[in-house]
């Protein structure tokens, strides 16, 4: 899984190198999260996804204290508006790093819940997509 997340991070870093602003980075990040909900909700349920996402946000606050406002704003599992706003208010590089940390924390928690092989199989389709899928299509710099 580390390679898929590294690929996602590399794709976002390439967008930064091409001059993408934090809002564009946030849009791609939210597309990844929305795809994750679509893939994982049938398996762990929306409430299960929400619990993992909220826990990931809580843990990410150690390194990114500004994520506290995101954690407080989460109501529904697929509601990423607060995350989008928080990421868009950062520098592009910080948005990429924070989203990467959040994805990694989410991955680690999910792995503890359902195991590594299943986590990798499920999330590979999502986290590998930004380079070829719809998440990065709207960004042309």
In whole angstroms, give the CA distance from residue 89 to residue 78: 20
* 140 in any annotated domain: no
Domain encompassing residue 117: 2-131
Query: pLDDT tens, 27-54?
Result: 999 999 999 999 999 999 988 898 999 9
Q: Structurally, how many domains does the chain consist of?
A: 1
* 141 in any annotated domain: no
Structure tokens, 26: 């946030």
* 96 in any annotated domain: yes
Cα–Cα nearest to 69, from 21, 106, 81? 81
Mean pLDDT score, 112-131: 80
Q: Which of 16-25, 53-62, 76-85 has the lowest mean pLDDT?
A: 76-85
Query: pLDDT tens, 60-112?
Result: 999 999 998 887 666 665 679 889 999 999 999 999 999 999 999 999 999 99
Band of residue 126 on the pLDDT scale cut at 50, 70, 90: confident
* 139 in any annotated domain: no
From the CB of residue 19, how many other CB atoms can be counted at a distance below 10 Å? Answer: 10
Indicate whether 132 pLDDT > 50. Answer: no
* 137 in any annotated domain: no
Indicate whether 9 pLDDT > 50. Answer: yes
* 78 in any annotated domain: yes
Q: How far is CA 95 from CA 16, 28, 140, in A?
A: 10, 11, 18
């Amino acid at each position: 899984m580390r390679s898929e997340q590294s690929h996602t991070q590399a794709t976002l870093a390439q967008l930064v190198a091409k001059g993408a602003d934090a809002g564009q980075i946030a849009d791609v990040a939210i597309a990844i999260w929305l795809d994750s909900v679509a893939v994982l909700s049938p398996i762990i349920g929306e409430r299960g996804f929400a619990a993992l996402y909220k826990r990931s946000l809580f843990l990410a606050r150690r390194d990114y204290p500004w994520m506290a406002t995101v954690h407080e704003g989460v109501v529904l599992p697929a509601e990423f508006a607060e995350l989008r706003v928080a990421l868009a208010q950062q520098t592009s590089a910080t948005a990429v790093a924070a989203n990467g940390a959040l994805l990694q924390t989410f991955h680690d928690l999910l792995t503890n819940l359902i195991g590594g092989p299943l986590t990798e199989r499920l999330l590979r389709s999502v986290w590998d997509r930004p380079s070829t899928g719809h998440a990065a299509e709207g960004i042309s710099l």
